């Protein structure tokens, strides 16, 4: 037996098992570990931390090779993580990677994201979990910046204590590797998506609405935020967690209610 055990790496995403971003992620991580992929069998974008309670879940093994197994699942990205941990893996994986998402998950976008929900779910179970996104919504983005930085990121994450539940939201700007200034550890920018519904009428004279939106950064000049980093050619890294408590408003809330 080798004394250098390869890490067990769980991979998922929310764009579905056929998404180019997932395939690139698998290709990049394969040299470094035992790979287990559990990904949705179709796109599950913007499903946030949804779980499937009212329908049964299906799981299909699609690849079984040495050091590489892949399953598709009928549910969301969070369902994929829960099934991986409870029905597929005998022990917790050493780390989890989610993505590579086609489109930004920086600042407030994290709350809608299935990619980051999967990473957060991993961290709830103590797994060091990394969500990766590129600021490119096309079906075939340029992943060369991720290809340059991911091996470096993986090697550093592999040194973090297994089980420490570190969760990172990493976003890559849409620039070439030569333009990139490197990684920048940030906080989440204060921002919102302001909706602009596209109202239409169907052939049966009934109205319907398409949800569209415009992104508003409420603090564009804050240099310690992820959106500032991305606008200034950095790869943004935000450590995130699942504690929603607004600690800064606890005293105010006591004053209001008690």
Told to check if 244 binds a second copy by CB under 8 A, we report yes
Residue 41 in tokens:
């069998």
The β-bridge partners of 213 are 195
Q: Which is nearer to a second copy, 124 or 175 (CB)?
A: 124
Phi, psi angle pair for 132, to nearest 5°: -125, 130
- Restricting to residues 24-43, name those near a second copy by CB under 8 A: 43
- Restricting to residues 191-220, name those near a second copy by CB under 8 A: 192, 195-197, 199-200, 206-211
Least distance (Å) between residue 13 CB and a second copy: 16
Residues in contact with a second copy, shown as a per-residue x/- string from 111 to 150 under the rule CB under 8 A: xx---xx--x---xx-------------------------
Least distance (Å) between residue 166 CB and a second copy: 7
Residue from 5, 27, 181, 249 touching a second copy (CB under 8 A): that is: 249
Told to check if 153 binds a second copy by CB under 8 A, we report yes
Residue 190 in tokens:
């204060």
CA R_g for the chain: 19
Told to check if 237 binds a second copy by CB under 8 A, we report yes
> For residues 151 and 28, is the Cβ–Cβ distance under 8 A?
yes
Q: Give the count of residues interacting with a second copy (CB under 8 A).
A: 75
Residue from 71, 80, 82, 94 touching a second copy (CB under 8 A): that is: 82
What strand order describes the sheet that includes 34-40? 59-65, 68-73, 34-40, 8-12, 95-102, 128-134, 167-172
Q: Which is nearer to a second copy, 174 or 187 (CB)?
A: 187
Q: Which residue has the tokens 């369902």?
A: 79
Q: Which is nearer to a second copy, 35 or 78 (CB)?
A: 78
> For residues 170 and 131, is the Cβ–Cβ distance under 8 A?
yes
Closest to 133 (Cα-Cα) out of 165, 100, 159:
100
Told to check if 239 binds a second copy by CB under 8 A, we report yes
> For residues 158 and 128, is the Cβ–Cβ distance under 8 A?
no
């Amino acid at each position: 037996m080798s004394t250098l055990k390869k890490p067990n790496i769980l991979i998922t995403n929310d764009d579905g098992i056929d998404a180019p971003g997932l395939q690139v992620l698998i290709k990049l991580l394969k040299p470094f570990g035992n790979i287990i992929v559990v990904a949705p069998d179709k796109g599950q974008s913007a499903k946030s931390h949804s779980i499937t309670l009212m329908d049964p879940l299906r799981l299909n093994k699609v690849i079984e090779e040495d050091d590489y197994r892949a399953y598709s699942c009928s549910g969301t990205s969070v369902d994929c993580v829960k099934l991986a941990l409870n029905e597929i893996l005998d022990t917790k994986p050493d780390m989890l990677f989610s993505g590579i998402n086609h489109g930004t998950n920086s600042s407030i976008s994290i709350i809608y994201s299935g990619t980051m929900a999967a990473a957060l779910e991993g961290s709830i179970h103590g797994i060091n979990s990394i969500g990766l996104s590129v600021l490119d919504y096309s079906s075939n983005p340029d992943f060369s910046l991720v290809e340059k930085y991911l091996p470096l990121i993986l090697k550093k994450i592999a040194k973090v204590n297994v089980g420490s539940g570190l969760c990172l939201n990493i976003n890559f700007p849409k620039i070439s590797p030569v333009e990139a200034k490197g990684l920048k550890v940030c906080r989440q920018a204060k921002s919102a998506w302001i909706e602009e519904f596209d109202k239409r009428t169907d052939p049966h004279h009934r109205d319907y609405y398409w949800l569209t939106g415009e992104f508003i950064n409420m603090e564009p000049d804050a240099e310690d935020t992820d959106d500032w980093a991305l606008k200034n050619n950095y790869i943004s890294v935000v450590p995130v967690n699942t504690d929603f408590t607004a600690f800064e408003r606890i005293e105010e809330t006591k004053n209001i209610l008690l």
